[in-house]
Amino acid sequence: MNHNEDPAIVASALTRRFGEVTAVSELTLEVLPGEVFGFLGHNGAGKTTTVRLLNGVLAADGGTARVLGLDPWQNGPALRGHTGILTETPSLDERLTGRENLQIYAELYGVPPAELSQRVEELLEAFELAHRGDEKAGGYSRGMKQRLALARALLHKPRLLFLDEPTAGLDPVATRRVHGLITRLSREERRTVFLCTHNLAEAQKLCDRVAVLEHGCLVALGTPVELANRMGHRQRLEIEVAPEGLAATLDILRSIPGITELQQDNGSLTIVGAGREVIPGLVASLVAAGVRIYRVSPREPSLEDVYFALHDVEEGS
């Protein structure tokens, strides 16, 4: 990420309606060059519509946008020459081989003939598809198809990538591979990644910042840590002590300022509303009271906690 360069995306009060439905409402945000920007929201929140607006394939009803310095609706084709898109259900030509799929798109993207075959081979190699490049894409596993689609989106070396649910339906190994690729694109190649996802663990792991969209409106924006810190009151500490020290421990825990809840489950205690900052004092008091401590572990709020709190839904419901 570089804070001195012009933003890759600037959207201001961007709005799009479909009949009665406002799919995107007054959306204002900036995405920095080289950043992995997570775009989170439930089904129907407006993520795909936003991507289509920012690529200039859908007109806005209101607001403005500059993407890579261009107006998406005035300069759509020029813009799309610098952006790559992985849609939720990428359509590959299943009758063609992996290699042929890339060759055809490279021609469409205007990759110069002299560079074309080298570029295709580089990508097949980078995405670990070279050894299967002459097989029909229809016979590829889901993970291989997704990697091929991602390779296809990169043929023309786009500076900005829109990835819509890039790991949906992939197994953990394939998911990890795609995560590695995304990180590499951003960190090593300095490409900007706009990542639409429902997957909170993915967003927390990969994204520099995340925006949360609900019914077309932005409801939160920040780094995963900033968002989690806003949920400070949800911090918890789990404590496990020897049974004979339980009563003394309960007394000590009750004296900690700010705690909102104390749960007891056999020998394990959980306090809500206090984080790692209370651990040194707590441990000192427990030791002074002769309590044998087995475990004191903080559980910081995750992006998942933030998301559920924002959407007013209980975890697991």
Q: How far, in Å, CA of 238 to CA of 159, rounded? A: 45
What does the angle CA 59 – CA 41 – CA 236 come to, to the nearest 5 degrees? 155
Residue from 4, 43, 74, 317 binding ligand ATP (CB under 6 A): 43
Q: Residue 203 Cβ, how far from ligand ATP at the closest point, in Å?
A: 13
Which residues have a Cβ under 8 Å from the Cβ of 53 and sit 6 or more positions away? Answer: 11, 14, 16, 24, 59, 60, 65, 72
Strand runs labelled E in 52-101: 62-67, 83-86
Q: Which stretch binds ligand ATP (CB under 6 A): 16-24, 75-83, 135-143, 263-271?
A: 16-24
- Give the nearest distance from C-beta 47 to ligand ATP in angstroms: 3
Closest distance of CB 143 from ligand ATP, Å: 20
| Cβ-based nearer residue to ligand ATP, 46 or 133 | 46
Q: Is residue 299 within 8 Å of residue 276, measured between CB atoms?
A: no
Q: How far is the CB of 101 from ligand ATP (least distance, A)?
A: 24
∠ CA 196-197-200, rounded to 5°: 140
**Selected range binding ligand ATP among 44-52, 76-84, 132-140, 266-274, rule: CB under 6 A:** 44-52
Cα(36)–Cα(180) distance, rounded to whole angstroms?
13
The Cβ of residue 175 has, within 10 Å, a number of other Cβ atoms equal to 19
Copy the structure tokens of residue 273: 């509303």
How far apart are CB 213 and ligand ATP at their closest, in Å? 7
One residue of 7, 31, 49, 177 binding ligand ATP per CB under 6 A: 49
* Residue 44 binding ligand ATP, by CB under 6 A: yes
- Among positions 78-107, residues that touch ligand ATP (CB under 6 A) are 88
Conformational region of residue 10, where left means phi above 0, alpha means psi within -120 to 50, and beta covers everything else: beta
Q: Which one of 38-46, 117-125, 134-142, 240-248 is the stretch in contact with ligand ATP (CB under 6 A)? A: 38-46
User: Site for ligand ATP (CB under 6 A): which residue of 7, 33, 41, 158?
Assistant: 41
Mask: binding to ligand ATP, 229-258, rule CB under 6 A, as x and -? ------------------------------
Cβ neighbors of 195 (< 8 A, separation 6 or more) are 36, 37, 38, 39, 163, 166, 182, 202, 203, 206, 207
Nearest-5° angle of CA 45, CA 48, CA 52?
A: 135
Rank residues 47 and 66 by Cβ distance to ligand ATP and give the closer one: 47
CA distance 226 to 223: 5
- CA gap 112, 251 in Å, rounded: 74
By CB under 6 A, tell whether 21 contacts ligand ATP. Answer: yes
Contact 15, 62 (CB under 8 A): yes
Q: Of the two residues 45 and 206, which places its CB atom closer to ligand ATP in the complex?
A: 45
Residue 199 or 270: the one with the smaller Cβ distance to ligand ATP is 199
Judged by beta carbon, residue 45 or residue 120, the one nearer ligand ATP is 45
Quick one: which segment of 17-25, 77-85, 127-135, 142-150 binds ligand ATP (CB under 6 A)?
Answer: 17-25
Question: Applying CB under 6 A, does 23 fall inside the site for ligand ATP?
Answer: yes
We find the least distance from the C-beta atom of residue 22 to ligand ATP, in angstroms, to be: 8
Give the length of the chain.
317
Which residues of the shown chain bind ligand ATP in the complex (CB under 6 A)? 18, 21, 23, 41, 43-49, 88
